[in-house]
Structure 1
């Protein structure tokens, strides 16, 4: 269990970000342990076809048996939406000795796999090979999915930002994750990898909150030189793997038309045009046209998050999309 003691300055400096490199690294674990990541099996089956067979051994070696990761693989995002190439550059610039230290620390007493066993002889070359393999894996297996992944991460950040603006830190952390709790200026994160109790005085360094589509639980990275990072499962991440259209109330479809009714049903969580088009199996232009009508009717709102425009239902849209209990009159 880790306690992060946050002062007023830390709360004022708190910020959200997503990390394409972190998502890339976390996704490898979903490939290594498909049974543990069952909801992502459609993605697993799709991506497995595009893996470079020569890269598999080294990629899988980045996932030690203890499920710890070498720290240098997930550098702290330096901007709210960093580019993968910039983050990979940070990995390439890692001194070999530091990268080798992180690998040994992640494996602990476990034996290194053959692909890593000689890495200590030339750790700089090993770090370079790892970066090259990660780059190839990103381009083949993750980048095609990135627009949909980013839409889910953007939507989560919009939702959390609203919670923070309306209810402060208490509202923000109330449903961040079951392992996370907030009380009296202390953010507590319970992790199986940290069975011992420890406390960190953040002391004005701030806090980075990083949603993830592949994280199975809340995780922390604490570095005395920078703000602590809390990664957590993004809201709505399960929708990434859905392709079927949701059931729609027939009455609502007759009222506003089936395409708009389906869109309204999908917008329980904020989503981008790209994500909605993928889930409905239509073009982004077709979705954009229908969203414009819903927006003009006051059924959805839109807000820009980075390079994406996210749509969400208004209160009126919620009342139309959610079935009314018989005998109950909506206020």
Structure 2
């Protein structure tokens, strides 16, 4: 079990962040067979080609069943992190930090080919891994990133609402079945397995919703990286279970409106829903207007945004959707 101690100073500085690079790492783990690939199994041919043509197999070697090198997926500074900024952090990694994390990954993982070892032991290993990550991003994740980012942003809106209603304890509740708030700390994992405690440093905790870590959870606990907790974004199971909004619900309200109703497990804006479902913003607005008149959703202002959420009747109908 991992305990991340959180004091009053930490809570003052705790914030949310989204990381394109961490999501790419989670996707690579799935394509490498370390976790179920879900709907992204379609990318395996492209992934295998990249492993043959680039140094991507060296990147993958730094992901094991229970460890991932932090420097190839460092915690983001906040919600506005871009792919370009993420990659710049990787390229700036000091070689001693990279060497230490590479050694830790190799000690925990299976034996790897000599060709991969040569890459990981090379003097320009950081640049070579960064180049492989860039190729993987463009070919594997960039096309889906707007939709995945919208899922993560919707989760942050939900958590912020929980924070306003019940404080940080309420915001932490429900992050993941293996995450608990207990006695001044966030606990991850099985209590019977012994505990490692990471003391507070007063700089706050970074909470990172992820669309691709599902169904697991992860943490950054070692320097020089900021302490962070990575958890599945709310409603992301719908992505992996690939609900279509079909069946009787689609027959009743139409397929697109059924998809919107299912997607509103957490409050979301018109723009977020459009990005998440691959629909035009105008079409989403028209569908939401119909669902509102039918009493299935209602709008509420949150700062400068208008968020839609299901009504109790909408919840009851969405619960009947297959998937």
**Aligned partners of 1:198 and 1:167: how far apart in 2?**
28
Say which one has the larger Rg. 1
Query: Could you tell me how far 1:281 is from its partner in structure 2?
Result: 6.8
Moved more, 111-120 or 93-102: 111-120
- Confirm whether residue 181 of structure 1 aligns to residue 180 of structure 2: yes
Match of 2:205 among 204, 207, 214: 207
User: Residues 228 and 294 of structure 1: is their aligned pair in 2 closer, same or farther, counting only changes over 3 Å?
Assistant: same
Aligned to 1:63: 63
Query: Could you tell me how far 1:234 is from its partner in structure 2?
Result: 1.4
Aligned to 1:329: none
Match of 1:269 among 251, 266, 271: 266
**Aligned partners of 1:205 and 1:103: how far apart in 2?**
27
Query: Could you tell me how far 1:47 is from its partner in structure 2?
Result: 5.5
Query: Could you tell me how far 1:230 is from its partner in structure 2?
Result: 0.7
Aligned to 1:319: 313
Aligned to 2:18: 18
Residues 147, 274 of structure 1: 8 Å contact kept: no
Aligned to 1:160: 159
**Aligned partners of 2:250 and 2:86: how far apart in 1?**
48
- Confirm whether residue 102 of structure 1 aligns to residue 96 of structure 2: no
Moved more, 13-22 or 208-217: 208-217
User: Residues 303 and 157 of structure 1: is their aligned pair in 2 closer, same or farther, counting only changes over 3 Å?
Assistant: farther
Match of 1:285 among 275, 282, 287: 282
Query: Could you tell me how far 1:94 is from its partner in structure 2?
Result: 1.3
- Root-mean-square deviation (CA, aligned residues, Å) is 3.3
**Aligned partners of 1:75 and 1:279: how far apart in 2?**
25
Q: Which runs of 5+ in 2 are unaligned?
A: 319-323
Query: Could you tell me how far 1:282 is from its partner in structure 2?
Result: 4.9
Structure 1 residue matching 2:308: 3-state secondary structure: strand
User: Residues 318 and 7 of structure 1: is their aligned pair in 2 closer, same or farther, counting only changes over 3 Å?
Assistant: same
Structure 1 residue matching 2:159: 3-state secondary structure: helix
User: Residues 303 and 221 of structure 1: is their aligned pair in 2 closer, same or farther, counting only changes over 3 Å?
Assistant: farther
Residues 151, 276 of structure 2: 8 Å contact kept: no
Residues 216, 231 of structure 2: 8 Å contact kept: yes
**Aligned partners of 1:76 and 1:195: how far apart in 2?**
26
Matched residue count: 311
**Aligned partners of 2:165 and 2:157: how far apart in 1?**
12
Aligned to 2:122: 122
Query: Could you tell me how far 1:49 is from its partner in structure 2?
Result: 3.6
User: Residues 234 and 279 of structure 1: is their aligned pair in 2 closer, same or farther, counting only changes over 3 Å?
Assistant: closer
**Cα deviations by residue, 1:52-107 (Å, 9 ceiling, x for unpaired):** 3413533432323x441112112121122301111101111112232122111112
Residues 76, 229 of structure 1: 8 Å contact kept: yes
User: Residues 280 and 246 of structure 1: is their aligned pair in 2 closer, same or farther, counting only changes over 3 Å?
Assistant: farther
User: Residues 304 and 75 of structure 1: is their aligned pair in 2 closer, same or farther, counting only changes over 3 Å?
Assistant: farther
Residues 267, 312 of structure 1: 8 Å contact kept: yes
User: Residues 304 and 145 of structure 1: is their aligned pair in 2 closer, same or farther, counting only changes over 3 Å?
Assistant: farther
Residues 15, 207 of structure 1: 8 Å contact kept: yes
Question: What TM-score results when the alignment is normalised by the length of structure 1?
Answer: 0.80
